[in-house]
Amino acid sequence: MTSSPQHWDAAYDSGHETRGWYQASAVLSRVLIRDTGLPHDCAIIDIGGGASVLVDDLLADGYTDITVLDHSPAGLRVARERLGDSAADVTWVTADLRAWTPERTYAIWHDRAVLHFLLADDDIAAYRARLLEATGPGSWAVIGIFGPEGPAVCAGLPVRQYDESDLEALLEPDFEIAQMTFADHVRPDGEVQQFLWALAQRT
């Protein structure tokens, strides 16, 4: 089984707040985005945002230029319905990241848990290509992926675990890593998943 819009539509329709990825607040993402020091009118894109509450948190923090990209219409629908009238303040993009053509560049690229679902070398190369196309010198990347002690399967799909050297190989030399840290995510069912987070700036 591979990642597809149909797979994620079914996952969201089954009740996204019970799924392993759910978090009530995107605390660490907010901290790392704040650590960039960029103004609140900077352009931010949340890759694979789906129904994530990061967009709610960013709006609450005063950010004004937010784009959410996901290939699951159901996930984006959950987020838009939750935001109500505030959804009009966000740009929503339904697309497969690997084939997406950015129409602009962003000051912050945020990805929590997309990269580790990409297993084929071609897909990882496509991810890196989109990252470079969607950012420019001085832009920041905030990336959260499963660490070496993370699960081998998530949401019914195989995933890849990353260590620091793996992430360095992906990002360098085009990005300089400013922070790298391990953090646990506690799923709604109480299971703990190890994530590796990086904050890196485009050179």
Spatial distance between the Cα atoms of 101 and 90, rounded to a whole number of angstroms: 19
Q: Are 20 and 155 in contact (CB under 8 A)?
A: yes
Write down the pLDDT at residue 10. 63
Tokens 């929590």 belong to: 112
Q: Are 102 and 134 in contact (CB under 8 A)?
A: yes
48: left (phi over 0), alpha (psi -120 to 50) or beta: left
**Tokens (6 digits) for 71:** 């290939």
Query: Where do the structural domains in the chain lie, given as residue ranges?
Result: 5-202
* Residue 192: band (very low, low, confident or very high) from pLDDT cuts 50, 70, 90: confident
Spatial distance between the Cα atoms of 91 and 135, rounded to a whole number of angstroms: 17
Spatial distance between the Cα atoms of 22 and 12, rounded to a whole number of angstroms: 11
What average pLDDT score do residues 127-131 get?
98
* Residue 47: band (very low, low, confident or very high) from pLDDT cuts 50, 70, 90: very high
Distance of CA 63 to the CA centre of its chain: 17
Q: In sequence order, what are the residues at sequence separation of 6 or more whose Cβ sits closer than 8 angstroms to the Cβ of residue 113?
A: 21, 48, 144, 145, 146, 154, 195
**What is the CATH architecture assignment of 5-202?**
3-Layer(aba) Sandwich (3.40)
Tokens 């590796």 belong to: 196
Spatial distance between the Cα atoms of 16 and 14, rounded to a whole number of angstroms: 6
Write down the pLDDT at residue 7. 53
User: What is the β-pairing status of strands 43-47 and 65-70?
Assistant: parallel
Q: Considering just the CA atoms, what is the radius of gyration of the chain in Å?
A: 16
What average pLDDT score do residues 9-36 get?
76
* Residue 191: band (very low, low, confident or very high) from pLDDT cuts 50, 70, 90: confident
Minimal CA–CA distance to 38: which of 104, 103, 109? Answer: 109
Spatial distance between the Cα atoms of 91 and 70, rounded to a whole number of angstroms: 12
What average pLDDT score do residues 162-173 get?
97
Distance of CA 37 to the CA centre of its chain: 19
Q: Are 97 and 47 in contact (CB under 8 A)?
A: yes
The pTM of the full predicted model, rounded to 2 decimals, is: 0.92
- The chain-wide mean pLDDT, for the chain, equals 91
Q: In sequence order, what are the residues at sequence separation of 6 or more whose Cβ sits closer than 8 angstroms to the Cβ of residue 163?
A: 147, 148, 196
